[in-house]
């Protein structure tokens, strides 16, 4: 499971996926509904690679089709905190917490 980490500044990195229906969406959300934010690019890259490894292992145990296992749709983007209830990515997409009044 992906865990949220402490971000020491207003900047960090998150994993996203682009969907046909909803556009850009966070790959994982924290308990407040915000994208999970990692404090360093390397930390985000490690989580990204762990997801790839998990899918490949699922293929090896016949839990996933090959094409699905090797297709990587997630990507890493820099993000910025805007107050306590909003995170924006480097493309200008804004992601709000479930409770915008917090």
Alpha-carbon span 22 to 42, nearest angstrom: 28
Number of Cβ within 10 Å of residue 9's Cβ equals 8
- DSSP secondary structure letter of residue 60: H
**Residue 92 belongs to some domain of the structure:** yes
Q: Which domain holds residue 59?
A: 11-96
The residue among 83, 73, 91, 90 whose CA lies nearest residue 34 is: 83
Q: How confident is the model at residue 3 (pLDDT cuts 50, 70, 90)?
A: very low
**Residue 15 belongs to some domain of the structure:** yes
Count each helix (H run) and each strand (E run) in the chain, helices first.
2, 5
Q: In this predicted model, what pLDDT tens digit does every residue of 28-69 receive, in sequence order? A: 998 888 899 999 999 999 999 999 999 999 999 999 999 999
For the chain, how many structural domains are there in total?
1
pLDDT of residue 96 exceeding 60: yes
**Residue 2 belongs to some domain of the structure:** no
**Residue 71 belongs to some domain of the structure:** yes
**Residue 44 belongs to some domain of the structure:** yes
**Residue 3 belongs to some domain of the structure:** no
Q: How confident is the model at residue 8 (pLDDT cuts 50, 70, 90)?
A: very low
Alpha-carbon span 59 to 43, nearest angstrom: 25
**Residue 57 belongs to some domain of the structure:** yes
**Residue 101 belongs to some domain of the structure:** no
Q: Which helix (H) or strand (E) holds 70?
A: helix 66-70
């Amino acid at each position: 499971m992906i865990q949220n980490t402490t971000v020491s500044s207003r900047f960090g990195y998150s994993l996203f996926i682009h969907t046909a229906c909803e556009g850009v969406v966070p790959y994982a959300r924290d308990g407040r509904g915000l994208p999970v934010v990692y404090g360093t690019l390397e930390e985000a890259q490690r989580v990204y690679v762990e997801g790839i490894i998990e899918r490949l292992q699922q293929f090896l145990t016949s839990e996933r089709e090959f094409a699905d296992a090797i297709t990587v749709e997630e990507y890493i983007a820099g993000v910025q905190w805007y107050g306590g209830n909003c995170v924006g990515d480097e493309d200008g997409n804004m992601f709000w917490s479930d409770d915008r009044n917090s």
